[in-house]
Structure 1
């Protein structure tokens, strides 16, 4: 343990990572779960697919800086110093899509993702810290400052670096015991993922053995242990196809007086496919992934792709991107900027976009209903603006809400006069004139 960590322990500052790990280990021990059984969860196809879906979904959403106007409107602040960093290039080596998808991948797999905020203003850049090399320490005893603060200890290249809470963007999973450290999804699915990995290994072994299960070899006579091993090894080399290079593939020679009886294991009898499918649905459910997104269309009940995407956004992505927006807005924008109406927001329209015919019909109604200007509607279709297109247009029959119903109010007339006669008299005077 290095000097910095010794100093923190001496001051009584608690390591949140160690505390969470100890709590989980105690829970596993109580439930009888082997904590070290699952060493390679990424090899499980469904688990990896769910990570891929979530990371790519976040990576494809453009991140923008917006501002509320005095008239309750909103516009994009493209000239802000952070706009290019968030929208295009967080650092010289990563695009925004790669950066945010990597953050999301780490957040789900490790439970927490850490981004170092380097510099400020025009010189600001964002760097992803390896989640396995970061420890979180909490100064709840107010030893280092008057206010309790969270410190992030990063160890890399043989050196240790200490960052305050304002220097790190911390994204965690929705499952957390203390509101600070997120629980990795692989920890939540420890037993489920262990079974899924074992089932995959079973299939691999069956492929290697040519789908030949264990067999009973009966022979006459007495053989010592060494001769039995050599005898069995010879027959097994034939059954596994290890002599295929010599042209021997399908024939297994059995000595006289011997009999080979296979112990067949049928996957159908053990409902292997059904169990594997149920396991896949459990894993997807923990991520908030819909069955159709992992290739299960047996119970698809959505009317259209647009409704599918809307359901995925509301049920799964909304919480995730809201966490990103809140953390980025608080850590990267100053208090004065936030007070002036600045905030960070993902553009979710890219995943909720309908087909071209529906888009045009919707935008046309928006323009006719005084919601969009023609140029605003054209911008949503990636078309250039046109002269005169910045005015609100609409149906000529529309009237302001404060004048609604005035067309049904009769005009007052003088007492004793007949409006119909007056109108007829005016018409005769015009004809004579």
Structure 2
């Protein structure tokens, strides 16, 4: 359980992490890449927002394990469980469930680990009453044998600040890809570090280009030679009239003696600036693990599918589901003992919904029909569409035994060719 300890300095083993926080880690391009600078790149912001928003809108479903009379194992929804409210509505007073999951996902991507500590009902109670997210920068993770200890800097109950030590059973630790048993690397520290650095430099270059003269410049051609004094006076008059606050881009070039200039300004496309920026979007999306077309890069063809439904399935299967699987495992092992009857799953059905025609075909097959066993009831389908149950809607459709068709090989009973003998006295 947690114990309050005195405030202490961050150990030198976290020097690399602190360097990222305070901007001491520069890329080969010269740009400093950390959590704050990375989010200034539109592609990073869009990718993190996409995954964070996706998990924030994915229901965290609680189930109860069941055993039927025949011994078969099953499950049923446990929407009345106390933890349903914590992870679907409000984990603590400062966060809604949506903002909680957005915070956890952004920390997972940008800092490597999403951390939240569990507040128990009392010291010896397994019941959780609050789930409080903590910035990764406020947590120092150390090993104690085969277990982890978390030194968390946070505000105490009396309003003071300090460290408390939490055992791993009292902390939800959501790691990123590459977990080494203690912590995980962030996307910006490894996979996208150089790409983000180049993108930052490209943004800086674009700002300087457009701020200092990417727009059309002016050339004034004089019919005859002008002295340097005359040229200077003309420029001063021009700037006073048209160029105030515009920098050097609005100062005209004066041409004398019939000189001609074919082109005065170099566009960003000519300098391959736009192409470079477009490539960085794809590179960053590749590192984060999201489809480029879902963060605005639609110039190239996509291999994530040809329709909206296929693209959504690809995003859920390859981008979102790995995170959800790790999150569900962490919730199950920290919230419920091994022999507990409850467990958690994230329901991605809403993310995979197709158009109305596809849904109608799917639900039609799910309900069953002539010669086909149904696997959903009418009320289960209505619940998915937020409709109230109807009487008799909880019965699973089972097809009746089909009428036996006559065998072509069997001939019908042959009637006697001879007429029936008439009755006596006829």
Q: TM-score range by the shorter chain?
A: 0.7 to 0.9
Which of 202, 209, 213 lines up with 2:212 in the alignment?
A: 209
Distance in 1 between residues matched to 2:169 and 2:238, nearest whole Å: 63
1:343 maps to 343
Contact residue 239 and residue 252 of structure 1 kept, 8 A: no
Distance in 2 between residues matched to 1:304 and 1:371, nearest whole Å: 27
C-alpha spacing 1:190/1:251, structure 2 compared with 1 (3 Å): closer
1:352 maps to 352
Contact residue 64 and residue 345 of structure 1 kept, 8 A: yes
Higher mean Cα deviation, 35-44 or 347-356? 35-44
| C-alpha displacement of 1:317 | 1.0
2:222 maps to none
User: 1:34-433 alignment to 2 at 5 Å?
Assistant: 36=32, 40-70=37-67, 71-120=72-121, 124-140=129-145, 148-155=147-154, 158-176=161-179, 178-188=180-190, 189-211=192-214, 241-242=243-244, 252=252, 264-297=265-298, 298-300=300-302, 302-337=305-340, 340=341, 342-368=342-368, 369-396=373-400, 420=413
Q: Residues 250-277 of structure 1, C-alpha deviation per residue, up to 9 Å, x if partnerless?
A: 66497999x9x99844322322222111
Give 3-state SS (helix, strand or coil) of 1:159's partner: strand
| C-alpha displacement of 1:242 | 2.2
Q: Residues 148-172 of structure 1, C-alpha deviation per residue, up to 9 Å, x if partnerless?
A: 4333332555412211111111112
| C-alpha displacement of 1:92 | 2.6
Higher mean Cα deviation, 148-157 or 346-355? 148-157
TM-score of the two chains, using structure 1 as the length reference: 0.73
Structure 2 gaps of 5+ residues are 219-225, 421-426
Q: Residues 164-211 of structure 1, C-alpha deviation per residue, up to 9 Å, x if partnerless?
A: 1111111121134x2321111111222211110111112222232242
Give 3-state SS (helix, strand or coil) of 2:54's partner: helix
C-alpha spacing 1:254/1:263, structure 2 compared with 1 (3 Å): closer
Contact residue 235 and residue 254 of structure 1 kept, 8 A: no
Distance in 2 between residues matched to 1:327 and 1:136, nearest whole Å: 17
Give 3-state SS (helix, strand or coil) of 1:390's partner: coil
Contact residue 238 and residue 251 of structure 1 kept, 8 A: no
Give 3-state SS (helix, strand or coil) of 2:86's partner: helix
Higher mean Cα deviation, 318-327 or 36-45? 36-45
Distance in 2 between residues matched to 1:239 and 1:190, nearest whole Å: 46
| C-alpha displacement of 1:349 | 0.5
Give 3-state SS (helix, strand or coil) of 1:282's partner: helix
Count of residue pairs the alignment pairs up: 377
Q: Residues 4-52 of structure 1, C-alpha deviation per residue, up to 9 Å, x if partnerless?
A: 648x98xxxxx874577799xxxx89x9675846661111111110011
Q: Residues 40-89 of structure 1, C-alpha deviation per residue, up to 9 Å, x if partnerless?
A: 11111111100110100110101011123213332111222212112222
Contact residue 16 and residue 181 of structure 1 kept, 8 A: no
Distance in 1 between residues matched to 2:396 and 2:75, nearest whole Å: 16
Distance in 2 between residues matched to 1:211 and 1:390, nearest whole Å: 68
Q: Residues 207-247 of structure 1, C-alpha deviation per residue, up to 9 Å, x if partnerless?
A: 322426999xxx999xxxxxxxx99x979966993258xxx
Distance in 1 between residues matched to 2:293 and 2:170, nearest whole Å: 39
Contact residue 66 and residue 77 of structure 1 kept, 8 A: yes
Contact residue 289 and residue 319 of structure 2 kept, 8 A: yes
C-alpha spacing 1:200/1:390, structure 2 compared with 1 (3 Å): same
TM-score of the two chains, using structure 2 as the length reference: 0.74
Q: Residues 370-398 of structure 1, C-alpha deviation per residue, up to 9 Å, x if partnerless?
A: 21122222222222211112112244456
Contact residue 379 and residue 390 of structure 2 kept, 8 A: yes
Contact residue 152 and residue 165 of structure 1 kept, 8 A: no
Provide the aligned C-alpha RMSD in A: 4.3
Contact residue 46 and residue 294 of structure 1 kept, 8 A: yes
Distance in 2 between residues matched to 1:127 and 1:104, nearest whole Å: 14
Structure 1 gaps of 5+ residues are 10-14, 141-146, 222-229, 400-404, 412-417, 429-433
Distance in 2 between residues matched to 1:158 and 1:209, nearest whole Å: 48
Contact residue 238 and residue 252 of structure 1 kept, 8 A: no
